[in-house]
Amino acid sequence: MRKNIVAGNWKMNKNVIDAQQLMAQLLDYKKANATNCEVWIAPPSLYLMMARDIFENNEVGVFSQDMSEYESGAYTGEISADMLQSIEADGSIIGHSERRQYHGETDSHCNRKVKLALDKGLTPIYCNGETLEQRKAGQHLEVVKNQTETALFTLTAEEIKKVVIAYEPVWAIGTGETASPEQAQEIHAHIRSLIAAKYGQEVADEISILYGGSVKPDNAKEIFSQPDIDGGLIGGAALKLEDFSKIIEGFNQ
């Protein structure tokens, strides 16, 4: 079912004391404030069990930043879907642009990870988006189309309804360029239309599509007001409760 979601990707930040403090602050905030969206976090894997213990009543969804495409075996440093399931994590980010850039992750890898996550009852947050070079070359619609089809279109209609998609305009992150709400909406609508063409409009309308391009307290309301944007995958602004809570409140205004 389509939901409004604000998800915080902590990336490789916070020592254990700072992580525990931020989680406690977020729990207090959630208990004190009604929100018009679900709130999820993806802390470093070392802190997943702590997060699950702190948010024991599911006030906040707990996600890993990545998971292996393999069920188990000699894959040093990897985290399996079974491991996530065993600590009652809610799901995993899959295909983040930094995993693609620094670890060579492809859409085919993502396809295997998404299917494994679904098989284990986990929610995949599948990331896609074009680079600056691809945007300048006018290839953005085709790039996102290929990413979406390769990673997701082997799924059944019932399976894809359980996927959350996060569009990341890689060209607008750390480049000095800025993606407007209208540019973000264009791609979100494009992704939804691709799903509608494959699975039907009813299925497409059930899928949450998040925006992963520098959502901040001062632009959250405008971005979230776009018809096909159902929330955000938040990076740096998720590391301070003051900023993260103001983004969450973008759905309350």
Tell me which residues are annotated as active site. 96, 168
Is 250 annotated for ligand binding?
Answer: no
Determine the Cα–Cα distance for residues 152 and 201; give it in Å rounded to an integer: 16
β-pair type (91-94, 123-128): parallel
- Beta-ladder partners of 90: none
Question: Hey, what are 31's tokens?
Answer: 């208990």
Partners of residue 209 on adjacent β-strands? 165
Is residue 86 within 8 A of residue 70, CB to CB? The reply is no
Is 171 flagged in the annotation as binding?
A: no
Residues sharing a CB contact under 8 Å with residue 130, sequence separation 6 or more, in sequence order:
139, 140, 143, 144, 169, 170, 171
Residue 235, marked binder: yes
Q: How far is CA 235 from CA 1, 109, 136, 215, in A?
A: 25, 23, 24, 8
The answer to whether 95 is a known ligand-binding residue is no
80 is in an annotated binding site: no
The verdict on whether residue 9 carries a ligand-binding annotation is yes
Q: How far apart are CA 220 and CA 6, in angstroms?
A: 10
128 labelled ligand-binding: no
> Could you tell me which residues are annotated as the binding site?
9-11, 174, 214, 235-236
> Could you tell me which residues are annotated as the binding site for substrate?
9-11, 174, 214, 235-236
